[in-house]
């Protein structure tokens, strides 16, 4: 029996191999029948080996649709503006060309003084000596420094008065010389008590016809983090010390007509002290220009004190457009009310905009002549004392 099995071993193995081959072929045929029919090789690439959903989506352009137009990502530049742009692609800009784009008072051309002051240096009759200080005071015949050291100018009835005070002056002697010579003499200047040789700086301005004043510094609103210095009206000092600081501010050794009060604390916390300070200024025959943004100073009443609140204060702006907006506000105030007072910081960009604005003022002409003419900007510069009333 075993011999017979061994005889048929080869036959059994052949049959078994044949069955396996038939079974495998049947599996392949069944698998092929379950696979989708692909139209191209691209279709086949869209599916994975497991016959799952497409892995890629390919969108072919429609020949019937117009080709997309290129998008212009840069705005068109008008010809007039394009002509003014430097050809940076063609060449490198020179230092002179770069500097020409930076606002600077040093480039302003000088001009002859448009007015002269009666006193360039201190007048003895308007001066009091106290503790080695030379303080302004009312003379024995009642003359007051704010009037005597100032200048009244005539403005024709059809024109509106514009007064500009440049505060914080004196730190840069070279810039001060340029400002004094380039700006009309009717521009007034107020000096920082911290400027070096402030008396000499004041004399320079007065030689060019500018009325001169001193900055009065209130205690900083952020006094816990910053200090307005040893000459400011601090909340932590006595009233007597405040008066001493005021007197030191008022004694630069050159003529001044009063003070320009800078922004700071002016409320109930120091109302009494500020009242004493304003009264002391009044007793010395000086005027007060309120350049604060609040109304604390306005609420203090001092009988007979010559004073004026600034209509526009430009101090922290560096953007030309924002500065021009403030200047436009000032112009509208002048045209509607008949006068306006601006107080500005001596930042080059601010002064350049003020300078250019002033150049647009129409020249003053008599009323009879103006009947047959259109006056575009009936604005006239005046010293700040011309807008102050007692």
Q: Cβ distance 136 to 126 under 8 Å?
A: yes
What pLDDT is attached to residue 340?
Answer: 98
- Determine phi and psi for 199, rounding to 5 degrees: -60, -40
Angle 101-103-105 from CA coordinates, rounded to 5°? 135
Closest CA to 216 of 176, 165, 179, 154: 165
Return the exposure string of 116-150: e unless at least 16 CB atoms fall within 10 Å of the residue's CB, then b: ebeebebbeebeeeeeeebbbbbeeeeebbbbbbb
* Neighbouring C-beta atoms of residue 39, cutoff 10 Å: 8
Least confident of 37-51, 217-231, 276-290, 372-386: 37-51
Single pTM value for the model: 0.74
What dihedral angle (degrees, nearest 10) is formed by the CA atoms of 270, 274, 275, 281? 170
What pLDDT is attached to residue 242?
Answer: 95
Distance (Å) of CA 364 to CA 114, 158, 292, 353: 14, 9, 32, 22
pLDDT tens column, 123-144: 999 999 999 999 999 999 999 9
Average of pLDDT values for 213-234?
84
Whether the pLDDT of residue 112 is over 50: the answer is yes
Longest dimension (CA), the chain: 160
Average of pLDDT values for 202-225?
90
- Determine phi and psi for 360, rounding to 5 degrees: -85, -5
Distance CA 278, CA 150 (A): 20
What pLDDT is attached to residue 12?
Answer: 66
Mean pLDDT highest for which of 13-17, 71-75, 82-86, 243-247? 243-247
Distance CA 291, CA 184 (A): 22
pLDDT tens column, 305-342: 999 999 999 999 999 999 999 999 999 999 999 999 99
């Amino acid at each position: 029996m075993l011999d017979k099995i061994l005889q048929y071993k080869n036959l059994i193995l052949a049959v078994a191999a044949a069955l396996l081959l038939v079974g495998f072929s049947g599996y392949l045929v069944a698998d092929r029948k379950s696979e989708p029919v692909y139209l191209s090789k691209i279709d086949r690439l869209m599916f994975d080996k497991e016959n799952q959903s497409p892995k890629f989506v390919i969108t072919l352009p429609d020949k019937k649709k117009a080709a997309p137009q290129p998008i212009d990502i840069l705005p068109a530049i008008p010809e007039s503006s394009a002509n003014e742009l430097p050809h940076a692609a063609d060449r490198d800009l020179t230092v002179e060309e770069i500097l020409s784009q930076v606002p600077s008072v040093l480039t302003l051309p000088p001009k002859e003084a448009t007015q002269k002051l009666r006193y360039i240096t201190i007048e003895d009759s308007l001066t009091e000596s106290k503790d080695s200080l030379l303080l302004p005071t009312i003379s024995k015949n009642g003359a007051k420094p704010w009037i005597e050291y100032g200048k009244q100018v005539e403005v024709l009835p059809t024109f509106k008065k514009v007064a500009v005070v440049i505060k914080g002056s004196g730190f840069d002697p070279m810039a001060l010389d340029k400002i004094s010579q380039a700006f009309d003499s009717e521009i007034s200047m107020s000096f920082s008590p911290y400027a070096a040789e402030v008396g000499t700086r004041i004399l320079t301005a007065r030689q060019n016809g500018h009325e001169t004043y001193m900055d009065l510094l209130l205690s900083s609103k952020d006094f816990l983090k910053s200090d307005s210095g040893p000459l400011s009206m601090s909340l932590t000092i006595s009233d007597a010390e405040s008066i001493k600081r005021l007197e030191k501010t008022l004694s630069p050794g050159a003529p001044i007509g009063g003070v320009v009060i800078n922004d700071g604390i002016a409320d109930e916390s120091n109302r009494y002290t500020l009242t004493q300070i304003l009264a002391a200024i009044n007793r010395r025959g000086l005027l007060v220009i309120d350049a604060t943004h609040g109304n604390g100073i306005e609420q203090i009443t001092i009988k007979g004190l010559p004073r004026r609140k600034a209509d526009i204060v430009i101090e922290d702006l560096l953007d030309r457009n924002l500065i021009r907006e403030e200047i436009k506000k000032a112009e509208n105030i002048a045209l509607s009310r008949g006068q306006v007072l601006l107080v500005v910081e001596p930042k080059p960009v601010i002064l350049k905009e003020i300078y250019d604005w002033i150049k647009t003022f129409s020249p003053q002409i008599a009323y009879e002549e103006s009947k047959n003419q259109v006056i575009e900007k009936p604005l006239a510069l005046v010293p700040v004392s011309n807008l102050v009333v007692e």
